[in-house]
Structure 1
């Protein structure tokens, strides 16, 4: 079984060396408690040094039979791996029993996609007479027109817009820089917002270059963008689960369904792997069948 000295040392390791939050640490310790519960259920009391790879495989089967979600099982496996890696680091064990332990495959649930009509409906639901109206139009047009993450939109700067070339510079995950095409419609509403609305906002120092600002004159937060999207979805009568990411997903889906090259979409989305891009392209069978019919020489 897992004795308190090991748990205490592991907890200090997670806190001091891994700099994890209190909630994350408690989750790791909870995973180890589940392992102890498993051994109790099968009337076993092995010491930490005696736990084998087979023990851990049986444990994963046990939590699966309990009905634990694959995502939760994967987190538990991750916690076990972290614990045994720590024991190896401290030279408490000489062989890692979790080395060959595999996480259960998780079903990837794709977010809802908006149709072009639904996107137009949300944009049409914006009250342009309100001070934030033109800003919100520019936000939706940019999210959908460029396929941005919400953090990328929030951090977008005036100096990152190259209007003559119709590109914007984005700093994505890992601060990786990429250039993304921006259409005339998104540029149009950004310019209207900058000229007619944003000029009336008292801009705080350090936020002068950010495009999208709140009423206080500071960079619009991710949470604020979420709230704007949720409110417009409700106002336009959309029942789907909508977030800013829905526009990114719709951007990729509509491009692929329109015949865009998958690698071009990968580049615009800023994915390091094309496999990630494929997740965004839930193409229906009719579309795939049409591609075969049109392009395959033996169709």
Structure 2
């Protein structure tokens, strides 16, 4: 199986060999065209038209994100490989087996994944969801006023076919884990970045979109004046609102939100921005709202994969030095932010207030998504903490972390 997906990719058709065909309209191949679509190929490198048509329509019409189109393509491709190995579908042309299969074929596939391939219920449910969308939105309905490709009954008329996966407890990065992680790198830039991810709860895909201007605007919040009946004074809060160009929007659209970040963390970022190294690298960018807040050792913006590699490298070192028991992923830092909010006494008068704060700062559309952090009740979670730490605020914890771990960036530093 092979998957190719492109979005708005420029394709120069002037040199296309098809232009030499006598019966072809050459005007259709003039100039540079932008191509968006998904192509799924089988083991013999033949195009699977049903799968490719469904995914291309979804990507072209912003019905699914680029990442989702890749996930769906792989899931459908794996299922096609399984069907091709079954005797009753041996004579089917390309992916036409999707037009004739019955519910039992899907159920036997899920049983195969569970018992022979050893996949988790969560992974199986992910594939099941991909197939349901394929059948409900394309095979059994059709698109653009065209008849549905499949005339047989819809196997998903009653909903998902796989067992509901059990929810696992959230594995979060604790404050102590964060400190040991930060101390496992000698780079202040990386230490600053790790604390920022934890304190803001940003996803790894959102970090590259955090700009220098966003940091400056967040710090300017403390200069805002509160005016009431002749009283005019600065806010001077321990937290600042930081604008995030969020991910998880519909079909790759930006989902903006505001998160609360400790002023101590922002001041640490600003000291990094005032270093000779950052000043040298930021010259290549334009205005502050076009300049990334964090640049790597080569002076280029971080990518989501680079964030993961950074966490993997630093975590591996921390585990090797026996600072950590296991590696920390970017999402565990995000989970750590949620629990930091839940235990911070200045985030609300009760647990529900804090849970709403988690929903808003992490960008969850529904409060039920944030409730995964209630699997460990708040009052029980407090008992896990060391004596004397229960009353510390998130802002106070971040200020203490800065004092314990900040490094100076000198003129001759290259990282």
Normalized against structure 1, the TM-score is what? 0.75
Q: Does 2:365 correspond to 1:272?
A: yes
Maintained 8 Å contact 1:10/1:83: no
CA distance in 1, matches of 2:74, 2:81: 10
Counterpart in the other structure of 1:189: 268
- The partner residue of 1:97 within 143, 150, 155 is 155
CA distance in 2, matches of 1:109, 1:30: 26
Counterpart in the other structure of 2:386: none
Q: Does 2:293 correspond to 1:235?
A: no
Gaps of at least 5 residues in structure 1 are 41-46, 128-132, 291-299
1:25-64 matched pairs, under 5 angstroms? 25=73, 27-35=75-83, 52-53=102-103, 55=104, 58-59=107-108, 62-63=111-112, 64=114
* Cα distance change, pair 104–39 in 1 and its aligned pair in 2 (3 A): farther
- The partner residue of 1:251 within 332, 337, 344 is 337
Deviation at 1:154, TM superposition (A): 2.2
Secondary structure in structure 1 of the residue aligned to 2:181: helix
Counterpart in the other structure of 1:296: none
Deviation at 1:241, TM superposition (A): 2.7
Gaps of at least 5 residues in structure 2 are 1-41, 60-65, 89-96, 222-239, 348-353, 384-415
Deviation at 1:270, TM superposition (A): 0.6
1:1-299 matched pairs, under 5 angstroms? 8-14=48-54, 16-18=56-58, 25=73, 27-35=75-83, 52-53=102-103, 55=104, 58-59=107-108, 62-63=111-112, 64=114, 66=116, 68-85=119-136, 86-88=138-140, 89=142, 90-91=147-148, 92-93=150-151, 95-102=153-160, 103-110=162-169, 112-127=171-186, 133-161=187-215, 162-165=218-221, 166-173=240-247, 174=249, 175-196=254-275, 197-201=277-281, 203-205=283-285, 209-236=291-318, 237-258=323-344, 260=347, 261-283=354-376, 287=380
* Cα distance change, pair 163–51 in 1 and its aligned pair in 2 (3 A): same
Deviation at 1:242, TM superposition (A): 1.0
Deviation at 1:189, TM superposition (A): 1.0
Counterpart in the other structure of 2:19: none
CA distance in 2, matches of 1:23, 1:115: 31
CA distance in 1, matches of 2:152, 2:274: 66
Maintained 8 Å contact 2:182/2:194: yes
Maintained 8 Å contact 1:154/1:212: yes
Deviations 1:280-299 (A, max 9, x none): 44415861798xxxxxxxxx
Secondary structure in structure 2 of the residue aligned to 1:154: helix
Normalized against structure 2, the TM-score is what? 0.56
Maintained 8 Å contact 1:112/1:242: no
Maintained 8 Å contact 1:77/1:101: no
Maintained 8 Å contact 2:173/2:336: yes
CA distance in 2, matches of 1:81, 1:31: 13
CA distance in 2, matches of 1:289, 1:28: 45
Maintained 8 Å contact 1:158/1:210: yes
RMSD of aligned C-alpha atoms? Answer: 3.5
Deviations 1:58-113 (A, max 9, x none): 53674355555323432443454355443322434164232214232123345532
Aligned residues: 274
Maintained 8 Å contact 1:202/1:216: no
Deviation at 1:142, TM superposition (A): 1.1
Deviation at 1:26, TM superposition (A): 5.5
Deviations 1:220-265 (A, max 9, x none): 2222222332233233332313112211111112322446510111
CA distance in 2, matches of 1:22, 1:125: 35
Moved more, 29-38 or 260-269: 29-38
Q: Which has the higher helix share?
A: 1
Q: Which has the higher strand share?
A: 2
